[in-house]
Amino acid sequence: MIKNTSAFCVAAALSLCVSPMIHAQGNNESTNIARQGSEAAKAGDWNKAVDAFRKAAEMDKKWGANLVAALQQRGAANMSQQKFPEATADFTEALKINPHDAGIHERRAYVEVKMKDYDKALEDYSEAIKLNPKEIRYYLPRSFIYETKGDLKNSMADTEHILKTDKTNAEALARKERLQKIEKMQANAPGPTPIPAPPTSAPSQKKKP
């Protein structure tokens, strides 16, 4: 049901173009540490890069953006290795620095779906939509989560929103058809059989002497 969406999210995360490219100048300590982080990033050593940029950012906030980038790259690497708790931790730290990045919310939400933590994933996809409501791809996984949770009304609303922009979206069309069938089945389902009330016994009458 979420096969196509999952594949897209994985591709989006792993093709993340946020490799920290630093042209650091100067000899102050934070710049030198950031330069070490940049070299580690170029070598793909994300643990070293994150540690370096974290130290540099603690000294000078201007390196915060590089720390966010390194955290996202390490999160994507952890995700590709199915280290989901570690990936979630990286994206969470990145969001503490930059909470208004819809893409980071999307990536964390994808990991949360893989962990079957649908409530948290729903919050992250909803926040991504709030930050970037025109991005249709955020609505696809959210409609899946609503359907999984049995919220057919909101799942259909997201599905219809997608089809207004992309009338041929195969996943949305399949979901709409499935939801309509479920709604029809529920409408035609017989109601619960009422349980008959126990017979009321007549009050006992004392015989007259």
The owner of tokens 């979901």 is 175
Report domain 3-98's class.
mainly alpha
CB atoms within 10 A of CB 203: 5
Confidence of residue 17 (pLDDT cuts 50, 70, 90): very low
The per-residue pLDDT for 198 is 60
Dmax (CA) for the chain in angstroms is 117
How high does pLDDT run on average in the chain?
A: 85
Q: End-to-end alpha-carbon separation of the chain, Å?
A: 79
pLDDT per residue as tens digits for the range 42-62: 999 999 999 999 999 999 999
Q: Phi and psi at residue 50, in whole multiples of 5°?
A: -65, -45
**Within 13 Å of residue 26, how many CA atoms lie on the same side as its CB?**
8
For residues 31 and 55, what is the distance between their CA atoms, to the nearest angstrom? 10
Single out the residue of 64, 55, 84 nearest to residue 20, CA to CA.
Answer: 64
**What is the residue extent of each domain of the chain?**
3-98
In tens, the pLDDT along 101-124 reads: 999 999 999 999 999 999 999 999
Quick: pLDDT tens for 160-200. 999 999 999 999 999 999 999 999 988 887 766 666 656 55
pLDDT for 99: 97
| Cα angle, residue 149 at apex, residues 101 and 121 outer, rounded to 5° | 20
pTM score of the predicted model: 0.79
- In terms of residues, how long is the chain? 209
Percent composition of the chain: helix, strand, coil (DSSP 3-state, to 5): 70, 0, 30
